[in-house]
Structure 1
Amino acid sequence: MKTWEEIATVQPIATKMLTNMIARDRLAHAYLFQGDKGTGKEVMSTLLAKSIFCQHIANGEPCHVCKDCVRITSGNHPDVHKIIPDGSSIKKEQIVHLQKEFTYTGLESNQKVYIIVDAEKMTTNAANRLLKFLEEPNRQTTAILLTENTQGLLDTIRSRCQIMALKPLNAQQIEKTLQTEGIAEANARLFAAFKPQIEDARLLHQDERFAETRKIVVQLIEMLQAGSNELLLFIQKQWMSHFSNRDQLHEGLDLLMLWYKDVMYTHIDKEESIIFIENQEKIKKISMHCSKQDTTAILYAIMEAKKHIEQNVHPTLVMEQLTLQMQR
């Protein structure tokens, strides 16, 4: 996403507010963009900076090709400063250096913009130093703070910013974004359903372990449908060796849950909602032998298994019990 028009498809309210302010030349001196990973915080901060400096802005859209736009894109604009955490935090010295930079006259205009990424990671000293900066706003200075966690910021900092709350992306938006990046539809749909945050979903595409997880889950389902006598051995040898900790066990159970939700979608004629679209024929066959009532019972059994995992019940015992319940 490179333009306000594009980002408006996922963040319509925040985009409209910002573009209206730009059109009326009524920009605030400080903004706080809050939202999950992948919701467009950094893209919007870059667009806002371009909208302030662009030499050929038209209908609220920066041109992206003038000298200022190109340098902002590359991170080399002399009057646009970005601060990112130094290690695990943003330190007081970084804010002091920023303030020093802002005492100098702008190299090409009197306008200056600074962007603070992961603002919640400021140390207490850094946050207090920034607060003094915000308390004495210069009309030609625009602050843009980005955060996933507003509670990690001082109340006094939040109160001095125009807060732009970015809504989480839904699974359909994530799926569409992944497909535009070259990820196959079947994978994009599964990744978006399994990890409903764009950055996490992207990582699944490169995660060899997740590919193996998916394979093992489908193998378990096939063995269940075939009435295999080696199910418990499969659980002990393959399932438990692959899912060796609590988080991994939850991943396996979550994939099982998605599969049987697909079976339920088949029962209620909502095939368009199916996640495992490349396994649609298998899911249809399962629905012929597994009634709506049976499917509901299996979904409840998976939820109970997840609860038992959280309660530290022995995981092998949990999975063996779940497998027996799914066989009935």
Structure 2
Amino acid sequence: MLPIETTQTRVITQFKRVIAADQLSQSYIFAGPAGVGKMQVAQWLAMRLFCLNVQDGSPCGECAECQRILSHNHPDVVTISTEDKTIKVDAIRELKQEMSKSGMEGNQRVFIINDADKMTTGASNSLLKFYEEPVANTLVILLTSAKNRLLPTILSRAQMITFLPADASRIEASLVDEGIARNVARFASRMANEPAQALALAQDEAFNAQLTAVDQLLNKVAKRDLEAFIQVQSQLLPIAKNTTDQAQLLTLIALTYQLAMRHHYQLNEIESGAVNALSQQSGAQLADQTAAVLVAQQQLDQNVSFQSDLEQLILKLIG
């Protein structure tokens, strides 16, 4: 089973039924927040159409066809993706030229437009001609996190599939299956919307260093140990030198308190480390401390010095 099947079960099940009934549409819009697995489902769908070893309605993910799709090397699965602010009309014209050709290795062709909301008006109008004169055995999938930016005429002619954020517990389980330590999996799964992002985060050395440092810091905070201030200088500042790392570190602190709060009210499984230590406090204390972390996150967004912000936070948490 491919990981996306466990995190977007509802969407995958829907497509299995549609394909089994031979009712696949020619165009879909995959709409939902960034990172929920829209591209992974698009690839799953392409693999399902080309797979040489379909099992129980799912592509195997291992045959030559599936592997070429996963590595973006399949000639009949074309993806448009750009780092630019817009997808211009020339890109869509080239795509339409590709659509007019027969499949290089079969009848079916799949075209995926990532961030379709980036299409200019000219590009969108150019794509409309596909809907007016659809090409047989051609599947077009538009991925977007801002469906309201798509032309109403496109919205009305493609079938909308709405993606919801994957359940964190399922992502956590998939990470553990990949050999990730449970504690790391728990945090990574709650800081990413889909398994691939969570796995990359869980395997990132910088993330793991921050997670360890935060756990040590908050263990000291739970004991009202003033050495927590020393740790800010000695361990935290060196691993949070830019705004991205600083925001991530504060997010880890906030998430630790969220898990501690859930554990305090017995909503979590057995916890260890700082989560368990913090959860021994009263619910009122945890609520006040969680609010203090939120203020620290807001101050960071307002360009307050990170060192000053963190030291003030520790003072509030210990006090």
TM-score by length of 1: 0.77
1:82 pairs with one of 47, 66, 78: 78
Aligned to 2:164, which of 157, 160, 167?
167
SS of equivalent residue, structure 2 residue 166 = coil
Q: Which residue of 2 aligns with 1:100?
A: 97
Equivalent residues of 1:111, 1:141 under 8 A apart: yes
The question of whether the paired residues in 1 share the 8 Å contact of 2:30 and 2:162 is answered with yes
Task: Indicate whether 1:130 and 2:121 are aligned.
Answer: no
Which residue identity is paired with 1:295? Answer: L
Bigger Rg over Cα:
1
Describe the SS at the equivalent of 2:255. helix
**Deviation by residue 1:273-315 (Cα, 9 ceiling, x = unmatched):** 74xx4x2xx6545555x33332232222222322333344444
Which secondary structure state, in structure 2, belongs to the residue aligned with residue 269 of structure 1?
A: coil
Given candidates 176, 180, 185, the residue that maps to 1:183 is: 180
Change (3 A) 1:245 1:49: closer
Equivalent residue in structure 2 for 1:116, among 97, 113, 116: 113
Please state whether the residue corresponding to 1:173 is helix, strand or coil: helix
Which of 192, 195, 202 is the aligned partner of 2:192?
Answer: 195
- Paired letter, 2:95: L
CA distance in 2, matches of 1:321, 1:67: 56
Q: Name the amino acid aligned to 2:264.
A: H
Choose from 268, 291, 311 the match for 1:320: 311
Shift in Å at residue 105 of structure 1?
Answer: 4.4
Moved more, 238-247 or 295-304: 238-247
User: Which residue number corresponds to residue 146 of structure 2?
Assistant: 149
Maintained 8 Å contact 2:47/2:59: yes
How much has 1:150 moved relative to structure 2?
Answer: 2.3
Amino acid at match of 1:129: S
Match of 2:285 among 271, 276, 294: 294
- Residues 148-190 of structure 1 show CA distances to partners (whole Å, capped at 9, x for unaligned) of 3324433322222111112211111111222232322221112
TM-score of the pair, normalised by structure 2: 0.79
Distance change (3 Å), C-alpha of 1:132 and 1:185: same
Question: How far did residue 272 of structure 1 move?
Answer: 0.7
Match of 2:142, SS state, is strand
- Aligned residues with identical type, % of pairs: 35
Answer yes or no: is 1:27 the counterpart of 2:18.
Answer: no
Superposed displacement of residue 92, structure 1: 3.3
Aligned mates of 1:252, 1:172 — CA distance in 2? 22
SS of the counterpart of 1:125?
A: helix
SS in structure 1 of the partner of residue 100 of structure 2: coil
Q: CA deviation at 1:233?
A: 4.7
Task: Provide the C-alpha distance between the structure 2 equivalents of 1:71 and 1:239, rounded to a whole number of angstroms.
Answer: 42
CA offsets per residue over residues 59-106 of structure 1, 9 Å max, x none?
Answer: 75567799876765675655x241222553544333323323333445
Matched, 1:216 2:210: no
Aligned-pair distance for 1:191?
A: 0.9
Paired amino acid for 1:82: V
Name the CA shift for 1:233/1:196 in 2 (closer, same or farther; >3 Å): same
Contact 1:83 1:94 in 2 (8 A): no
For structure 1, the residue ranges without an aligned partner over 5 or more in a row are none
Gap change, CA 1:132 and 1:7, over 3 Å in 2:
same
Q: Distance in 1 between matches of 2:243 and 2:112?
A: 38
Q: Distance between the aligned counterparts of 2:254 and 2:229, measured in 1?
A: 20
CA distance in 1, matches of 2:62, 2:244: 46
Distance 1:240 1:308, change over 3 A: same
Whether contact under 8 Å (2:114, 2:143) holds in the other structure is yes
**Does the C-alpha gap of structure 1 residues 326 and 136 become closer, same or farther in structure 2, counting only changes over 3 Å?**
same
CA–CA distance in 2 between the matches of 1:295 and 1:118?
A: 40
Asked if structure 2 preserves the Cα contact closer than 8 Å seen for 1:82 and 1:117, the reply is no
Could you list the per-position Cα deviations for residues 194-246 of structure 1 after superposition, in whole angstroms to 9, with x for gaps in the alignment?
A: 33443432232233222232233233224435554554454456544543455
Kindly provide the amino acid, as one letter, of the partner of residue 152 in structure 2: D
Q: What SS class does the counterpart of residue 194 from structure 1 fall into?
A: coil
Aligned CA distance change for structure 1 residues 196 and 119 (closer, same or farther; 3 Å):
closer
Gap change, CA 1:55 and 1:180, over 3 Å in 2 = closer
2:210–2:239 Cα contact (<8 Å) kept: yes
CA contact (8 A) 1:36 1:197 kept: no
